[in-house]
Amino acid sequence: MIELADIDKTYGVGDVTTQVLKGISFCVEKGEYVAIMGASGTGKTTLMNLVGLLDKPTAGQYRLEDNDVVTLDDEALSHLRNRKIGFVFQQFHLLDRANALRNVMLPLIYADRYPEDAEDRAKKALEAVGLADRMHYNPNKLSGGQQQRVAIARALINDPAIILADEPTGNLDSKSGIEILAIFKRLHKQGRIIIVITHDNNVAEHADRIIVLKDGQIAEDKPIMQPRDAETELKELNNKEGQS
Amino acid sequence: MRILRLTQEGIRALLTHKLRAFFMMAGTLIGVAALTAIMTISMGTARKLKQQASKWPHDVIKVNAGGGKGYTMPQEAITTLLPADAEAIQDQIDNLVLVTSVAEKRGLSIKGNSRQTGTNVFSIQPNWHEVMNWYIDQGESVTDEDIATMARVCVLGATIREELFGEQDPIGEMVQIGNVHLRIKGILKPRGVGTSGRASDDRILVPLSTALRRLFNQEHLSYIRMTVRDPDKIEDTGEIRIERTAEEVRQLLHERHHITPPQEDDFSIVHSSIVIKDIRSISKTTTVLLIVLAGLSLIVGGIVLMNIMLVSVNERTKEIGLRRALGATRGDIFIQFLNESLAVTVVGIVIGGILGWIVSILLVKYRYLSIGNSWGLFALIVLFALLIGIFSGVQPARRAAKLQPVETLR
């Protein structure tokens, strides 16, 4: 599915260069839920940009399904991003002046063919993240958790194989965070690849594999035998609130 | 259509920043409005002058009393143009076919058939009909004998005949101007509106001598009108004959009126090539100046548009990065931003065009200008404005398209 081999990434030119990633290699198979961890400055975001096709490695190989990504031009990469990858950002990155529905429909504009049922699809995506009643609200009328759910609906609209999330709960309170992770869990069960970049153990423990970066290299790549289940945790949380 | 969807995105962005969009539009709007108004008015003026020029017979030279340049009118207060001048012209200038003298007074009161109205009195010589190519419809005209005897007779124009006598036969009836009674000898053929735009049938013709002595009590003429044989012939000196002749007339009158340039003339000479020159000079000087000003306003508007778009691109780097992450190609971003500038320009052109028309219609109403239209020129204005819009939009759109998603999403 995703295959990175000996990836280097160097910023700068001439003498003043910083090598952010050194010889990164890993594979992610269909249906995996991976957390990429590391302290700040270890190259997490750079790695996410590479995996998300927003940037190209200085050296190394990257295959995404049948595509040799390194050789693709900007246009091909854009189309691939549009079809294969759903981004979820820490800052949500919604358009302020468009309502939830329009935000969710945004990736469809850049699709090869604009689907005739665009609006229905966007509505379904919003229903899937529990925002059926907030479709016509602009982002400033929504809570952080709701905004992030709009962003997830937007990531899902083109039915991508990969969900790529950069600190998705970083700007949320813990309850909203759990809600987001519960959605990820559900998407994972649908067979999608989930890649979450985080420095937070509480987030990473929901994945079934953790890759730890240190100084631009993979320090650790381990499976989690018993990942936490955000869906159950959310139910318990709701029950507790119900009791008190 | 992908391009429509991208344009729609651009237009949505504009609608959420209406004031910004307005300022982006202002230059185009004002420039196009001004250019449209200038176009309609200069086309109208040119058309009007062309009509006058085409009505002006090309073998006629007219000497008006009173100075001035170009297409002048006789001035009543000038008393220096005399019948003797006409005789001198007839005797001393070559290549003239006919010379006729006219004294006119406008807006005199006339009574007849127990009705009263106002009219214009033209005192003429018998060859007036030939010079003007305007003949009698009924009865007969002024004769040499009438001139010799200062006969109290007249010929009516169609309008005045209608006003005073209606359906009755006026020949032989009397009219009264001041305290002079005139017998009606004939009726002029109707002619409609003349070169000056005045109704030409509202007139009465009187023998020149009768008018000068009995009616106006004056010695001087309003104008002398003459026709030139072969007016387009090139003389040995290389000059066109009618221009050469006009110059000879001018020199003769200088002598007779004791005028030495640069002293100002007390007469003015009009002929067809002067009328045509008039058209050219009007459509050149003022129009060129106005077009330059309006064109400048378009260019300045384009610069404003470009700068606002550049600021807008800078403000929206995050949005651009997001769109790129969601699958927009560089081309998509370029088209969205270029079409934002273009949409503003197109709307500016439409509103500006309408505004220009409204302005020219108002000007016509209050300043008695006439308007014309040339779709070719209007297309040129639109094209110019569009080009400036595209030119101003390209740079910001390129900057937007060049932004790296990695840089902008932080």
DSSP B189-232: PP--B-TTSSBTTSEEEEEHHHIIIIIS--S--SEEEEEESSTT
Q: Is B328 on the interface with A (CB under 8 A)?
A: yes
pLDDT at B40: 84
Measured between beta carbons, the chain A residues lying within 8 angstroms of B323 are 106, 110
A147–chain B Cβ distance below 8 A for any pair: no
Nearest to B52 by CA among B35, B37, B74, B73: B73
B14 has a chain A CB within 8 A of its CB: no
Residues of B in contact with A107 (CB under 8 A): 326-327
Q: What is the mean pLDDT of chain A?
A: 92
Angle ∠(B249,B255,B256) on CA atoms, nearest 5: 85
Q: What is the Cβ-side half-sphere exposure of residue A19, based on CA atoms within 13 angstroms?
A: 12
Q: What is the Cα–Cα distance from A102 to B308, expressed in whole angstroms?
A: 26
Name the more confident of B38 and A68.
A68
Determine whether the interchain pair A106/B326 forms a contact, defined as Cβ–Cβ distance below 8 Å: yes
Spans of chain B, pLDDT less than 50: none
How far is the C-alpha of B409 from the C-alpha of A54, rounded, in Å? 10
For residue B408, give how far its alpha carbon lies from the nearest alpha carbon of chain A (Å): 11
**Confidence (pLDDT) at B283:** 62
Residue B63, SS3 per DSSP:
strand
Residues of B in contact with A95 (CB under 8 A): 319, 322
- Cα–Cα distance between A204 and B103 in angstroms, integer? 110
- A118 near B CB under 8 A: no
A49 contacts in chain B (CB < 8 Å): 406
Residue A97 touches chain B, beta carbons under 8 Å: yes
Largest CA distance in chain A: 64
Q: Is B107 exposed, middle or buried (0-12, 13-18, 19+ CB in 10 A)?
A: exposed
Is residue B64 within 8 A of residue B74, CB to CB? The reply is yes
B405 to A87: CB separation less than 8 angstroms, yes or no? no
The answer to which of A56-60, A108-112, B235-239 has the lowest mean pLDDT is B235-239
- B375-402 and B330-367 helices cross at what angle (nearest 10)? 150
Put simply, the answer to whether B2 touches A98 (Cβ < 8 Å) is no
In 10 A of CB B264, how many CB atoms?
8
Q: For residues B232 and B95, is the Cβ–Cβ distance under 8 A?
A: no
Q: Give the CATH architecture of domain A29-58+73-243.
A: 3-Layer(aba) Sandwich (3.40)
Q: What is the pLDDT of residue B331?
A: 94
Extended strands (E) in B233-288? 267-271
